[in-house]
């Protein structure tokens, strides 16, 4: 799939990283030159400098052949306009907008945005920092489906270390998607992947079984 | 006519002043109280500090009784979002807005908003004056 991400902040960056690992063709549109340099340094040339709310920029990005546009800037109005341009002018089949103000959800759905994702900004700010006590970090909430995308860091004393994924007691409906290890490229998680201490795992889980997922990977907080 | 204007910059303030002088009921919104200095001392309308993309602010501004909503902040996208809230959530009969970017203006016009691009209008005006077709001050 060709996926365009508007906004290269923390969410845009992590999303790009995860989607690239899944093998998608990807472009991040970002206004800030410093962010472009950072992301290009980390992920290679997947960025374009520009305002994702301008038709000219979206045209240059090849939006008319995009399968999906995800707008994750910090401003709801910018995310709305990027998605509406994508949908109406470039006929992008699927548009996803990040919301800072959950009250805007009704309006966005009314205006035809396919999915809105409400993000918890406070947690977001911690994502790129190494917080050893913070085992599970919410990356995204997909409200419609009641699904969370989370990052789990495996601590050294976790009961899952050394086990294969198929032997873990994962809650139904949850899935481990990507494992990120130091000095390695992100890898897809398979049934035979062995969990190691220090792994960063991007996982999907229904909101109500989040705690179970945490326990399965980390062990309960005794 | 009851009109709500979002954005008390030069344009918003002038429009508010003109409508007020003609006896219309005007409520003008701005996120910065300092912007209201642009209103004349004899302005009889309401000046309200608040964000026009927030439905509670809009309700406080009396949007449920409004006949028209005008979005003229500096941000195209803010105007677009507020205008669509007024049109689709509060069903205001007339919704007018400024969109500087001609590309965006074209799209939102096709989506049923009365959008105006000062960029296009002013460029045309300058061209007409330059070529002697019209003379406006």
Q: Could you tell me the residue ranges of all domains in chain A?
A: 2-119, 136-218
Contact assignment for B77 to A77 by CB distance below 8 Å = yes
DSSP 8-state symbol, B111: T
Q: Where are the beta strands (DSSP E) in chain A?
A: 2-6, 25-30, 47-49, 68-71, 94-99, 115-118, 136-142, 147-153, 175-180, 187-188, 200-206
* Distances in whole angstroms, Cα of residue A44 to Cα of each of A13, A16, A49, A186, A188: 12, 11, 14, 14, 19
| B interface with A, Cβ–Cβ below 8 Å | 53-55, 75-78, 80-81, 84-85, 88-89, 101, 103-104, 107, 110-111
Q: What is the pLDDT of residues B55-88, one digit of tens each?
A: 899 999 999 999 999 999 999 999 999 999 999 9
Best of A73, A75, A84 to disrupt the B interface (most B CBs within 10 Å) is A84
Topology of A2-119 in CATH?
Rossmann fold (3.40.50)
> pLDDT per residue over A99-158, tens digit each?
888 788 889 989 989 888 776 544 544 544 455 555 777 777 776 778 888 888 888 888
Q: What is the C-alpha to C-alpha distance for residues A5 and B82, in angstroms, rounded to an integer?
A: 24
Domain CATH number, residue B10: 3.40.50.720
What distance in Å separates the CA atoms of residue B109 and residue B121, rounded to the nearest whole number? Answer: 15
Nearest one of B120, B118, B135, B121 to B10, comparing CA atoms: B118
Q: Is residue B32 part of a domain?
A: yes
C-alpha distance from residue A147 to each of A107, A131, A176, A209 (Å): 21, 24, 13, 10
* Domain extent at residue B27: 2-130
Q: Which residues contact A48 (CB under 8 A, 6 or more apart)?
A: A27, A28, A29, A30, A57, A60, A61
Six token digits for residue A63: 């939006």
With beta carbons less than 8 A apart as the criterion, state whether A5 and A72 touch. Answer: yes
Say how many CB pairs under 8 Å bridge A and B. 53
Helix axis angle for B118-130 and B102-110, nearest 10°, is: 120
The number of residues making up chain B comes to 137
Distance CA B51, CA A51 (A): 23
Encode pLDDT of A24-50 as tens digits. 999 999 999 999 999 999 999 999 999
* Token pair belonging to B54: 């927030």
Average of per-residue pLDDT across B97-102 = 95
CB A46 within 8 A of CB A59: no
When pLDDT is cut at 50, 70 and 90, the band that residue B29 belongs to is very high
Phi-psi region of B22 (alpha: psi -120 to 50; beta: other; left: phi over 0): alpha
Residue B137 in domain = no
When pLDDT is cut at 50, 70 and 90, the band that residue A62 belongs to is very high
Q: By three-state DSSP, how is residue A40 classified?
A: helix
What is residue A34's predicted lDDT score, i.e. its pLDDT?
Answer: 95
Residue in B55, B78, B103 closest to A55 by CB: B103
User: Is B136 a member of any domain?
Assistant: no
Domain annotation covers residue B65? yes
Q: A45-59, A152-166, B113-127: which has the minimum mean pLDDT? A: A152-166
Does a structural domain hold residue B135? no
CA–CA gap between residue A128 and residue B96 (Å, rounded):
42
Nearest CA in chain B to A86: B107
Identical fold between A2-119 and A136-218: no
Strand order in the sheet with A147-153: A47-49, A25-30, A2-6, A68-71, A94-99, A115-118, A136-142, A147-153, A200-206, A175-180, A187-188
Q: Number of folded domains in chain B? A: 1
Complex confidence, ipTM:
0.88
Task: Please tell me whether residue A215 adopts helix, strand or coil conformation.
Answer: helix
pLDDT of residue A59: 95
| Range with the poorest average pLDDT among A126-130, A168-172, A202-206, B11-15 | A126-130
A→B contacts (Cβ < 8 Å), by residue, are 53-56, 75-78, 80-81, 84-85, 88-89, 101, 103, 106-107, 110-111
Chain A residue at shortest CA distance from B78? A77
| Per-residue tokens: A46 | 């997947």
- pLDDT value at position A122? 47
Query: Average pLDDT over chain A, rounded to whole?
Result: 87
Q: According to the CATH classification, is domain A136-218 in 3.40.50.300?
A: no
Closest CA to A126 of A114, A134, A117: A134
Residue in B77, B89, B110 nearest the CB of A81: B77
Does the pLDDT at position B1 exceed 80? yes
Nearest to A54 among B84, B88, B101 (CB): B101
């Amino acid at each position: 799939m060709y996926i365009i991400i508007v906004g290269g902040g923390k969410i845009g960056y992590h999303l790009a990283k995860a989607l690239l690992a899944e093998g998608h063709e990807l472009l991040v549109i970002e206004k800030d030159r410093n962010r472009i340099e950072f992301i290009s340094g980390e992920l290679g040339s997947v960025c374009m400098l520009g305002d994702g709310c301008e038709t000219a920029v979206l045209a240059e990005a090849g939006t008319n052949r995009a399968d999906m546009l995800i707008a994750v800037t910090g401003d709801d109005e910018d995310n709305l306009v990027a998605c509406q341009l994508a949908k109406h002018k470039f006929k992008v089949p699927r548009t996803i907008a990040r919301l800072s103000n959950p009250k805007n959800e009704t309006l966005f759905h009314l205006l035809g945005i396919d999915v809105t994702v409400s993000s918890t900004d406070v947690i977001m700010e911690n994502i790129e920092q190494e917080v050893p006590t913070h085992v599970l970090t919410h990356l995204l909430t997909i409200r419609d489906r009641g699904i969370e995308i989370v990052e789990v860091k495996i601590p050294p004393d976790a009961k899952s270390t050394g086990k294969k994924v198929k032997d873990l007691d994962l809650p139904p409906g949850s899935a481990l998607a990507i494992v990120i290890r130091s000095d390695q490229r992100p890898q897809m998680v398979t049934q035979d992947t062995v969990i190691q201490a220090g792994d960063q795992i991007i996982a999907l889980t229904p909101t109500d079984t989040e705690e179970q997922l945490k326990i399965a990977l980390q062990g309960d907080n005794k | 006519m009851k009109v709500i204007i979002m954005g008390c910059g030069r344009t918003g303030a002038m429009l508010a002043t003109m409508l007020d002088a003609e006896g219309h009921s005007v409520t003008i919104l701005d996120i910065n109280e300092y912007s209201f200095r642009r209103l004349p001392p004899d302005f009889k309308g309401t000046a309200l500090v608040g964000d026009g993309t927030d439905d509670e602010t809009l309700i406080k501004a009396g949007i449920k009784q409004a006949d028209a909503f005008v979005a003229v902040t500096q941000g195209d996208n803010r105007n677009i979002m507020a205008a669509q809230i007024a049109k689709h959530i509060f069903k205001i009969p007339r919704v007018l807005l400024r969109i500087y970017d001609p590309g965006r203006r074209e799209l939102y016009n096709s989506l049923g908003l009365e959008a105006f691009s000062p960029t296009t209008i002013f460029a045309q005006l300058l061209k007409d004056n330059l070529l002697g077709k019209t003379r406006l001050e």
